[in-house]
Chains A and B, each alone.
Chain A
């Protein structure tokens, strides 16, 4: 039962800091260096100044205006000191407002840049990259992993800079106000540092366990929602609930541990700071007793010491957060470091408008290095001909198509279009001249019209409709509530598989490619519709080179050339009549169809 579902976990990251990653991350802050410096400056000078000045003004008010040593109290002085305090508060108001706005501006821009760079890079990657990764794991990089850096860039970095300045400021003030007392209190800092870093490491590890369990839960939720129909059809709801309960329990156990440790942190730190308080009270009173210090300074000290622990605690938290962010950054950079498996040459030229001659020369290819999918294929297709690729699952039909569009590069041999090697031209100019309809059609959220127009954004409404008509998609579209403007969702909303395929036909035709590829595109279309599409196709294929991968003989038989593949090799080639005349794979295949019919 434990293997009912299997999810891969991330590893626990125990190693501390990776300066290289930090450097790469901070390269994204580089463009905003000026703004960044300005915020730190404003917050330090105005914000901190006001904050530090207030206790000072307060102690002045007590010592000089309200309760002076000499007994000459002064209301005027009190009013002006309070006035100065108000001015400081006002300044603080403005400085805070400015800081919040600016830190968010910078942080959001950095996040924006990072996310855009990542997405752009992913767009440049080839099929090989997507083949080995579930969509969810790519999605998480662009959304969650980038988001988890957001807090660091908006508040984290800038607040840390400010905290460091504040810490230095308070240290200086404490030492200037009363060096002896100041020094005495500083003794507690290393103690606090030791205690907190020991606890913090434990806390960090505990949260990592939580995150791992959480991502396992997310994976299961995603899957169980998508597979809910299978679950219900096989009446496995109870089993799923039981499985989830265990998963949830173990998640909560990890939460309990992490949050317990986390909640321990504050109190432990406070207990540690009690040492400082003890020193402050005992030594401070002693200093007053010996007339080294005034009451006002003691009051100021109490205030400053209170805001002394704060930045220390925050900086510690920031360090933990930085470590967590590091793991996100690491995952982001792992993607950024991926090179496209199908790189464009530096001197790649634009593919000129194609005639449509296709040549494969001694092509060998394998998805995995030890298992060749194509072995020394030679194929020569004259412009305008239609070619059907026939063979069992895994015989290499789709692979030929993939190489033609340069979704992958050959291991040996070349693919030539009009005599030009596909590796010598820009990918955009190559693929925009090839139209392809895949087995599983993808519908983008948006209107039906936008979906058809996907391959040729400039097409007019009339052209969209004409394309839909020629593939017999117009009929069902016209019946939809808003016709061509009907919004469809990620999973095609209520469109059936067949309808989705008709849409992708229209999409491919509208793009008006020189070469058209139908990769098992008609598997889920009912025969009547398929017949209609074929009528349309026969006119539309005129003057275009086309490749058709299909199982149904009715789809194949009209092709100008039928290429029979077996285990990655071409075993026969010719038109239907020719192939039927000689014994071989193709005739067996056709005969089989009748044998099954009458069996």
Chain B
């Protein structure tokens, strides 16, 4: 019950509906108990003594009661439905907001499918229980108390005898709950595995087909499919064991009542009408006991769902605003970035060494910084820390002298624009995708940004142009086209700081060059970070930083780095090795220009 207490804020404001649901069901059930009483009257007071004059009014009364009962039943259904729906609405909004706030570090390990099932299946589980299950459980309890009380007044001895089944039923019900819980858990994970298997197969279909491994994939799938089936059969097994047993126990009580009660009618110590009424009432009490299995099920499942939802809702947010976060003044931001002794290590990833160690960099507003380095060297981490995708472990990063940790997140990020290595497009029009960070952009702005990103041309060639809807992960567009749309999106925002995280890898050199020229023009006076593997992409940087396993191993301009032995020069040689003469000439000429710069 702790779980439902913890979730109280999501449904308690609708407690009117909650009581409506409970009361509606209780009254409807109570009225249901009146029906056997009417039958008793019919038999004992009318049929047996032969007094048939009251039959019509009694029958009409019965019909009236059915009408009122149906009304209350509707009150229960309506209130329960509203209660559950409102709860689902609030919970889903709450979870979604949480998802929007959780930091990158959370998503590094989270799985889409798992989060999805929390926001769908788990919310469904809670909706049902709070809306209906809770009222039904209460009702079963009411019914027992109410029914047995009434039976008690008719004949207490017979009632006491029947009561003995309650502890027995309780015991079986608890055993049932204990047995079914683990099965549900393993079903959930079997379903999860099956989904993952299929999802993986479909997203990796090109790889599967190119290795002609379909039979292998089918085998893998069949294994999970068998697992799924076996788990469900195990569930059916538990169900088959307990469900008929609960019903049997309840039935035995009816038979016992008939035996003992019948005996006493023959004895003369009980009237026939009383026996019929008692049997009818017992039948009414016993009927919901049959569904006890379902109710326990429902409760257990929704408890597990609640746990999973609370886990998400209580997830700490790694990067968040402080109480007095600074909101930047758009016009005043210059874009001067400073990394001071920055170190960073991924939390929960003790197996990985530090991603960045003692990183220092001073980037005056308006400069272009190039970052070069192998896989895992810390380039992406460094720019990410600036956007506070993570918070630095040690040291600090300042924007115009203010520690980024003191700046309001949204405000900080609205000054910056980043193009990720893997371009992500939302399923909407190209136009909406480009104006994603800046919903008020005019069509002119959008076209201008596209032209700068060399995307305008191919967009116009599409049948619907800017109105073309691009699907999941930008279906139907090539890698290069997606990258160009992502770049246009970043440029549209006219950010003070632009970050290109290996964002041009899928473009041919000519296109990339055009984009770079355009960026240099529009980003005049603004700060640009470029992460790339191609020297041609980096060489115009005001400063180029070469990283290796989190350490800065070289820094300087192209002209300087190309004359130093080291990773930069090595890369340069590899990329331009087909023209060794030009290469040396270039180094020589840059040496000259370098000296000129020194003297001039």
Contact = CB atoms under 8 A, between A and B. Distances in A.
Contact of B210 (A277, A431, A481): A431
Given A86-B252, A236-B437, A499-B376, 4 more contacts: A234-B493, A277-B63, A393-B480, A427-B212
A538 interface: no
Interface in A246-278: 248-249, 251-252, 255-256, 259-260, 262-264, 266-268, 270-271, 273-274, 277-278
A419 interface: no
Nearest to B86: A252
A112 B126 CA distance: 29
16 contacts: A65-B266, A86-B252, A119-B201, A228-B100, A234-B493, A235-B413, A245-B93, A255-B88, A270-B69, A278-B63, A285-B46, A496-B376, A504-B207, A525-B533, A551-B508, A597-B539
Interface in B70-125: 70-71, 73-74, 76-78, 80-82, 84-86, 88-89, 92-93, 96-97, 99-104, 107-108, 110-112, 115-116, 119-120
A112 B212 contact: no
A75 interface: yes
A148 interface: no
Contacts of A285: 42, 46-47, 52, 55, 59
B263 interface: yes
A282 B248 CA distance: 34
A242 to B, nearest CB: 11
Given A281-B55, A407-B209, A100 B115 contact: no
A65 B248 contact: no
Interface residues of B, number: 180
B264 to A, nearest CB: 9
A377 interface: no
A78 B251 contact: no
A100 B244 contact: yes
Contacts of B205: 127, 130
Contacts of B265: 66-67, 73
Contacts, number: 473
Contact of A393 (B119, B411, B478, B535): B478
B427 A490 contact: no
A462 interface: no
A14 interface: no
Interface string A369-405: 0000000000000000000000011100000000001
Interface stretch (B163-171, B226-234, B297-305, B356-364): B226-234
B108 A100 contact: no
A85 B248 contact: no
A233 B388 CA distance: 9
A136 B476 CA distance: 15
Given A445-B196, A551-B508, A97 B241 contact: yes
B100 A442 contact: no
Given A116-B221, A138-B202, A499-B376, A268 B39 contact: no
A405 B263 CA distance: 86
A70 interface: no
Interface residues of A, number: 174
Nearest to B72: A267
A389 to B, nearest CB: 13
A108 B196 contact: no
> How would you classify the secondary structure of chain B's contact residues: helix, strand, loop or mixed?
helix
B478 A394 contact: yes
Nearest to A108: B229
Interface stretch (B151-159, B445-453, B577-585): B577-585
Interface stretch (A31-39, A88-96, A179-187): A88-96
Nearest to A138: B202
A30 interface: no
B522 interface: no
B502 A592 contact: no
B67 A476 contact: no
A82 interface: yes
B73 A270 contact: yes
A13 B233 CA distance: 33
B469 interface: yes
Interface in A1-52: 1, 3-7
A496 to B, nearest CB: 5
A135 interface: yes
Contacts of A282: 55-56, 59
Contacts of A4: 428, 432, 439
Given A218-B116, A552-B575, A439 B506 contact: yes
Nearest to B287: A306
B479 A221 contact: no
Interface string A194-237: 00000000000000000000100111011111111111111111
Contacts of B195: 139, 143
A481 B351 CA distance: 6
A263 B81 contact: yes
Interface stretch (B8-16, B330-338, B392-400, B414-422): B414-422
Nearest to A263: B77
A4 B426 CA distance: 9
Contacts of A460: none
A227 B424 contact: yes
A287 B416 CA distance: 89
B244 A496 contact: no
Interface in B284-318: none
Contacts of B472: 134-136, 223
A469 to B, nearest CB: 17
A466 interface: no
Contacts of B416: 233
Contacts of B428: 3-6
A527 B571 contact: yes
Interface string B14-52: 000000000000000000000000010011001110101
Contact of B243 (A96, A228, A263, A599): A96
Contacts of A481: 351
Interface string A118-140: 01101110110011001110110
A94 to B, nearest CB: 8
A222 B432 CA distance: 18
A596 B536 contact: yes
A542 interface: no
A512 to B, nearest CB: 12
Interface stretch (B136-144, B176-184, B254-262): B254-262
Contact of B111 (A240, A289, A441, A490): A490
A82 B259 contact: yes
Which has the most chain A C-beta neighbours within 10 Å: B102, B119, B226, B251? B251
Contacts of A407: 206, 209-210
Which has the most chain B C-beta neighbours within 10 Å: A101, A124, A249? A101
Contacts of B489: 234
A427 to B, nearest CB: 6
Nearest to B582: A594
Contact of A232 (B104, B236, B375, B578): B104
A100 B243 contact: yes
A575 to B, nearest CB: 12
B172 interface: no
Contacts of A316: none
Interface string A394-422: 10000000000101000000000000000
B506 A523 contact: yes
Contacts of A442: 203-204, 206-207
Contacts of B228: 112
Interface in B173-228: 191, 194-196, 198-218, 221-222, 225-226, 228
A494 B350 CA distance: 12
A481 B251 CA distance: 60
B413 A232 contact: yes
Contacts of B225: 112, 115-116, 119
A239 B439 contact: yes
A593 B534 CA distance: 10
A119 B506 contact: no
Contacts of B108: 494
A127 B206 contact: yes
B519 interface: no
